[in-house]
Amino acid sequence: MTSPTEPQPHSPAHQLFDAALARGDMYSPDSPRPLIDTVAILNHPTFPHGTAWSEEALERLKRLGFTTLQLNIAWGSRPGDEALNLEDVVEPATEWDGMRQRLELNSRPDRRAERRAELAERLALARRVGLRTVFHFGAPFNRHNEFGDAPPNCVSDPEVHRYYRHLLRRLHDEYPVDDLWLYTYDQDAWLCSEFGECPRCGGVPLHRRLPAFVESLAGEWASMTGGRVWWSPWELSAGQILGCIGEFERPEILGLALHNNIAECMVAHAGDRNTSNLARAASERGMRVAIEGYFGAATEETETLTRLQSPLATYHQVRTMMAVPGVSSVKEYYGLDLAPYDPNLEAAALALAGEDLTDDEVLAALSARYADPSTRTTVEDIWRNVSAAMEMYPWDVSWFARETGRRGARHSLDKAILRGSVAETPAWLSTRASTFMVTADVDPHPWLLEDLGLRWSATASFLQKALDIAQTLPPDLRIGEDFAPFLRELDAFHRSTRALGLHCRESNLAALIRDSVARRTAPAEGVVRELLELLALDQVNAREDYLTDVIETLREDPAVFASVWFRAPTLNPPGHPDTVAGRPGAVFTYREGLFAMTSS
């Protein structure tokens, strides 16, 4: 008998998938560039060493449809202490009479030689298999936002321009990569504020000083290599980015690198109006435009969960990115681990192949690896529900609704609050609010809690349905490497999401009881009963006995319950040591962790 997990290479669906993978052979150094460049990153911040760098791994990326490879993970937390800045791998020539980096680097000095050797080896591997290469870095280096609005390395300082042009020459001499990916905020870079204390930048809008720095580096790189500097205007407002696009004197040598949403890379919210407007404006000026998103199961949105299988959501996202007018490249944002089975990555390959497929066609192509028709149907139903959950989840409430793997299945016993404060940058104090409903900490209105509670609960219902269907999988598949890690993470994601929805509804019900006590009237019929039911469900969901006292108090005396539990937490005054330094609008003490979302 054929095993349910044995691939069926000759099925029509599998042939469709093979055709998609064959697109990876389109690129060679001597062939015309494809209309859509596709940029991969090998490994990701959660597991920076998940897949060994080898010709076999890079050939697989080509077969998946990628034409270009980013040589470093380039994440702000520096996973694996990989290079994040030019200074991590090159330094000025000893005879150079200009300045050296005046700030201490954030990379480990003892790893410098190893970092340099890694970069050289990765570059050689990519060239051998015919992949173009990109090195990603932040500049000017200012130790992130350590210096606030007036960092020492200023883009209005001609010496800073000169210093970075020299570093680019050194990079080219030692590592002849094709293109560069430049962040001017984050990646340990930071910019002066027009409203800060910098004597050069005070009163000068960002779009009148930053383009000269970006173009200075792009011109230097183009003159040496014919390659391109892709500038990511991260942390700038949409208006500032538009202003910069209009200021470039040689836009044709530049690329504009955009997240797939003006606020972030988001699977479920790709291709918003601001992103489309910026892509169109840049392409009309002759700039190449790239959009970044998530091609695999590992994403910043679900960090530290890396095995959630939601291939339809990935396919929809990548096709949306490719359809943005003016886009010439699409790029992985977080990173790809090729070691585990990842149907999301296979779905991305189908999207990159260029055909518009129905959901049924996508799922049929992916499930063709399983021989048994009943197994294929079951697997497809699981994928449908998890994909629906990913697209239902309220990612748009706050940046801190992300990183779902850092959130447990219990919540505080205060009223649900919403965390929104992130950083003091132009984007966070302007355009990001067009995507995120909350960009500062808030004690939310009951209707906002109701909205989110219903959406988190709807998401949890899709996840529960997927878990229920998974119980009907053949035992060897359910405990095998394809599904066992995925199902463990699916259970964790379901429980943490269910807890958020319960916290919102419990908070509103507790407020109704408190209002009744204040009016000296009985709560509306069913309020106490519903709250008791939800608290019992909450405790089961948490798999932890942390609500027994709460339930007993509510059952015995709702007035006492209302005086103790689910009360609004105390707001901290500005500058209080319990709030997060440097985050405007941070007013709560986060005892449950940064990503607790509704818990203070």
How would DSSP label each residue in 165-193? HHHHHHHHHH---SEEEEESSBTTB----
Average pLDDT over residues 551-569: 96
Query: Is residue 143 in a domain?
Result: yes
| Counted domains in the chain | 2
**Residues 431, 294 share a domain:** no
**Domain C-terminal end among 336, 358, 373:** 336
Query: Is residue 590 in a domain?
Result: no
Say what the pLDDT of residue 91 is: 82
**Residues 190, 42 share a domain:** yes
**Domain C-terminal end among 309, 336, 363:** 336
pLDDT band at 594 (very low <50, low <70, confident <90, very high): confident
**Residues 153, 50 share a domain:** yes
Query: Is residue 285 in a domain?
Result: yes
| Exposure class string for 76-110: b at 16+ Cβ within 10 A, else e | eebbbbbbbbbbbbbbbeeeeeeeebebebbbeee
**Residues 443, 323 share a domain:** no
Strands 37-41, 68-70: pairing kind: parallel
More confident residue, 123 or 34: 123
**Residues 430, 301 share a domain:** no
**Residues 399, 331 share a domain:** no
Average pLDDT over residues 494-507: 99
pLDDT, mean over the chain = 91
Nearest Cα to Cα of residue 497 among 435, 453, 535, 433: 453
Contact call for residues 510 and 411 (beta carbons, < 8 A): no
**Residues 303, 449 share a domain:** no
Which residues form the domain of 121? 27-336
**Residues 201, 307 share a domain:** yes
Query: Is residue 348 in a domain?
Result: no
pLDDT band at 35 (very low <50, low <70, confident <90, very high): low
**Residues 179, 58 share a domain:** yes
Query: Is residue 384 in a domain?
Result: no
Instruction: Point out which residues pair with 255 in neighbouring strands.
Output: 230, 288
Average pLDDT over residues 518-527: 94
Instruction: Quote the DSSP letter at residue 556.
Output: H
- Map tokens 């447990």 to a residue: 408
Q: Is 288 helix (H, G, I), strand (E, B) or coil?
A: strand
pLDDT at residue 6 greater than cutoff 60: no
pLDDT at residue 27 greater than cutoff 50: no
Which residues 6+ apart lie within 8 Å of 42 measured at CB? 51, 53, 57, 58, 61, 69, 335, 336, 338
Query: Is residue 529 in a domain?
Result: yes
Say what the pLDDT of residue 186 is: 93
Query: Is residue 578 in a domain?
Result: no
pLDDT at residue 71 greater than cutoff 60: yes
Give the chain's length. 600
**Residues 397, 330 share a domain:** no
pLDDT band at 584 (very low <50, low <70, confident <90, very high): low
More confident residue, 208 or 32: 208
Q: In the numeric block, which tokens belong to residue 307?
A: 């095995």
pLDDT band at 577 (very low <50, low <70, confident <90, very high): low
Say what the pLDDT of residue 583 is: 63
pLDDT at residue 595 greater than cutoff 50: yes
pLDDT band at 83 (very low <50, low <70, confident <90, very high): very high
Per-residue pLDDT tens over the stretch 184-205: 999 999 999 999 999 999 999 9
Say what the pLDDT of residue 600 is: 83
Q: How many CB atoms within 10 Å of residue 576?
A: 13
Per-residue pLDDT tens over the stretch 324-360: 999 999 999 999 999 999 999 999 999 999 879 999 9
Contact call for residues 189 and 232 (beta carbons, < 8 A): no
pLDDT band at 145 (very low <50, low <70, confident <90, very high): confident
Per-residue pLDDT tens over the stretch 275-330: 999 999 999 999 999 999 999 999 999 999 999 999 999 999 999 999 999 999 99
pLDDT band at 29 (very low <50, low <70, confident <90, very high): very low
pLDDT band at 117 (very low <50, low <70, confident <90, very high): very high
pLDDT at residue 406 greater than cutoff 90: yes
Say what the pLDDT of residue 575 is: 62
Strands 329-332, 37-41: pairing kind: parallel
**Residues 405, 303 share a domain:** no
CATH number of the domain bearing residue 212: 3.20.20.80
- From first CA to last CA, the distance across the chain in angstroms is 56
The values of phi and psi at residue 182, to 5°, are -110, 125
Say what the pLDDT of residue 391 is: 99
Say what the pLDDT of residue 32 is: 34
Percent of the chain with pLDDT over 90: 82
Run of H or E residues at 332? strand 329-332
Average pLDDT over residues 162-169: 95
More confident residue, 29 or 484: 484
Contact call for residues 131 and 60 (beta carbons, < 8 A): no
pLDDT band at 554 (very low <50, low <70, confident <90, very high): very high
Say what the pLDDT of residue 598 is: 94
Query: Is residue 302 in a domain?
Result: yes
Q: How many CB atoms within 10 Å of residue 462?
A: 21
**Residues 176, 60 share a domain:** yes
pLDDT at residue 147 greater than cutoff 90: no
Run of H or E residues at 132? strand 132-138
Q: Give the dihedral sign, CA 441/444/448/450.
A: positive
Percent of the chain with pLDDT over 70: 91
